[in-house]
Structure 1
Amino acid sequence: MALKIISLSDLLNSEAREEDIIELLSSFETIKIKHNPGAEDVESFIHTKAIQFEKMDLSRTYLVMSTYQTKPYLAGYFSISNRPLVIPKKQFQKLSKTLQKRLMGFGHKTQQDTYEIKGYLLGQLGKNYSPLAQKAGNLSGADLLTLSYEKILDAYRIVGGRILYLECEDHEKIKSFYTRNGFKELEHYETNNDLCMMVKQIQHLTA
């Protein structure tokens, strides 16, 4: 069955009742992975923060809809922010010289002694694991990434940018998924939340 992308912003500005939108978002269930609190964050965001972030223009969330036996359901979602990657000097110095040199070609050093690269943050990426969604099985993680690339490339064509980046847990299964899909880990780099940083050049996105 075909997948349809719906902007949460458009949905909120439509005639749909917010109560019904909240009910739709609440139908999202994440997979439980041991030692992976990030999965709970993906569920918590869509349940409690997505609408607020949308109204505050902090990010844009897109719902991937499908149908199973004529019943519409939420297959997954992703959230994107137009936000540069800012690397503090202390963290930048931990990177290999080769990586430092490569990154210098994408960004610039700021007056605050940080390193900044224009790009987009893939803040959330979640496949629905509700019973209905699992029965349908219409969406893979790779499919979800490809759909997010389409929106990111739309933004890139309008305002530019150099990289797509995301934060994820130091969990081998999760990092392996992003690595298979062309992301590179910034080794020895830890975010303020002790997460790993994965990056991919915009020019390497395909849609």
Structure 2
Amino acid sequence: MIDYVIIPLGEILGKEYVKEKLESAFKKFSCQRERDLEDFLMQKSIAYEKTNYGKTYLFIDENKLVNNNEFIVLAYFTIAQNSLDISTMSKKKKRKILGEYPGRDSLSSIPTYLIGQLGRCDNCSSLDLSGQQILDECYHAISLAARIVGGNMLILECREHMFEKFYQPQGFKKLYDELNEESLFTLFKKINFEEYWNT
């Protein structure tokens, strides 16, 4: 297992001395299985951060940072607020997904937390840093917002193989049975964030 430190991208953007290190680290981040992760980190993460649309958290190799002053991105995730359109859902489906949500049947949308990106660099194995660890750190970050404003619904999009391999065992369910326009499934999960407040 690799020792890591999680650094919010927004906390280091204003520091000029890390600009070149960030660009270099982002270029070295490779994910052959999911090129969207590479593209987002290189092309979009800073813009999302500057517009406050979403927040990106970087898993940095702690030993290389402390001992060699190297900035190595092992993994990252991006989270944002979202509004889920439920206007076309049947009352039965709303009941199944939302449970005892107040005013459920008359709602056209509900607030959610969006996991926009989540992944690990190819140079880092699951033994070094597991998907479970990355997801738990993501839950912890979202729990800080949930502690203040509430909310318990997570939304994300993923490819079919990732649903079966990773997200379904983590308790995520398909919001719709069919793929969307980008050939992705929209998944949801209700979660009690209280268990993450003291971690």
TM superposition score normalised by structure 1: 0.79
Instruction: Report the counterpart of residue 81 of structure 2 in structure 1.
Output: 82
Q: How many residues align?
A: 189
Unaligned runs of 5+ in 2: none
**One-letter amino acid matched to 1:177:** F
Residue in 2 that maps onto 1:181: 170
Map Cα deviations across residues 155-183 of structure 1 (whole Å, 9 max, x no partner). Answer: 10111113011011122x44331111121
Match of 1:121 in 2: 114
1:1-207 correspondence to structure 2 within 5 Å? 1-32=2-33, 39-67=34-62, 70=67, 72=70, 73-89=72-88, 92-93=89-90, 97=92, 99-104=93-98, 105-106=100-101, 108=104, 115-130=108-123, 133-134=124-125, 137-171=127-161, 173-203=162-192, 206-207=195-196
RMSD: 2.6
Amino acid at match of 1:19: E
Counterpart residue type for residue 20 of structure 2: E
| Distance in 1 between residues matched to 2:97 and 2:15, nearest whole Å | 42
Q: Partners of 1:24 and 1:188 in 2: how far apart? A: 38
C-alpha distance in 2 between matches for 1:52 and 1:109? 37
Query: For residues 49 and 143 of structure 1, what CA distance do their matches in structure 2 show?
Result: 24
* Structure 2 equivalent of residue 35 of structure 1: none
Moved more, 59-68 or 150-159: 59-68
1:78-128 Cα shifts (integer Å, max 9, x gaps): 000011222351xx24xx93x331234347467xxx732211000000101
Matched-pair identity in %: 30
Amino acid at match of 2:96: R
Post-superposition CA distance 1:131-163 (Å, at most 9, x none): xx34x9521111100010110000101111130
Report the 3-state secondary structure (helix = DSSP H, G, I; strand = E; otherwise coil) of the residue aligned with 2:82. Answer: coil
Shift of residue 43, structure 1, vs aligned partner: 1.3
